[in-house]
Structure 1
């Protein structure tokens, strides 16, 4: 009897994993927002966020989860951003250590800057969890546009991220 329960849970997990792996979020071309939010950690994220600023699809950008050793001038040099652009439009967040921390750091920044809409830019395999954590932290009246950076994740990356997503959903559903 117990093995049937385990089998049912395993089949549900496997079907969910297949859905997760074959239906990764995609890039979004249209739509303007007040800000673009870019969690560090994946190739292509920051350049895509800067491209959104250049195209005037957002007026501000927060890069969340920046290593505390990184200085704005180093960031500007690495990504070829003028210091004027850094001062007016690009904020570096140094508080976050993980995806949940990115969401908390973003929520604080959004409140301070009176943001009503934002574009979340992260890797396709990371989008669901990043968006879920962010939606938990933000007021419901903040519009979030999910703009995934296309990648070619390994099966191992997908496996880890799917299980992190499940853990995130469970931790959000359970009272602490």
Structure 2
């Protein structure tokens, strides 16, 4: 009986990992939302979120997890953002340092701006855990839509992220 249980758990883990690694989330089509939340990290995330904002698919953008030493003017210069766009539509979030704190920062920002639909931009390999964390913190009635930035994650990165997702899922089951 013990061997069967171990074999079953191993197969469940293996097939879960294969699904996680092969069926990565995809970019969102031209769907409009009230706001965009982009999590800092790998290349292409901020650029994609700014493109979505400039195309008018959302009216506000939170960049969550900005290094405290980055000044708004430096951000604008690095990403080619006009002063007008920065002033009206972009919030630089300096309080987050991991995915969990991104979720808290994002939920507070969404509440303050009374957004009802939000596009979440992060890397494809990070999207599932980010969605889990952020949806847990979002105010009731907010629709969260994943908009994954395609990447080429290493097997090691996928392995680590899969286990972080499993750990977060288990903690959520225990109410933590």
Cα pair 2:127 2:148 within 8 Å, conserved: yes
Which residue of 2 is the match for residue 93 of structure 1?
A: 93
Which structure 2 segments of 5+ residues have no match? none
2:5 corresponds to 1:18? no
SS of 1:69 mapped into structure 2: coil
2:55 corresponds to 1:55? yes
SS of 2:97 mapped into structure 1: coil
- Aligned positions of 1:29-108 closer than 5 A: 29-108=29-108
State the 1:127 CA deviation.
0.6
Tell me how large the CA RMSD over aligned residues is: 1.0
Q: How far apart are the structure 2 equivalents of 1:110 and 1:17?
A: 32
Q: How far apart are the structure 2 equivalents of 1:147 and 1:164?
A: 20
**TM-score normalized with structure 2 length:** 0.96
Q: How far apart are the structure 1 equivalents of 2:73 and 2:173?
A: 41
How many pairs align?
A: 176
Which structure 1 segments of 5+ residues have no match? none
- Aligned positions of 1:116-131 closer than 5 A: 116-131=116-131
Q: How far apart are the structure 2 equivalents of 1:165 and 1:59?
A: 31
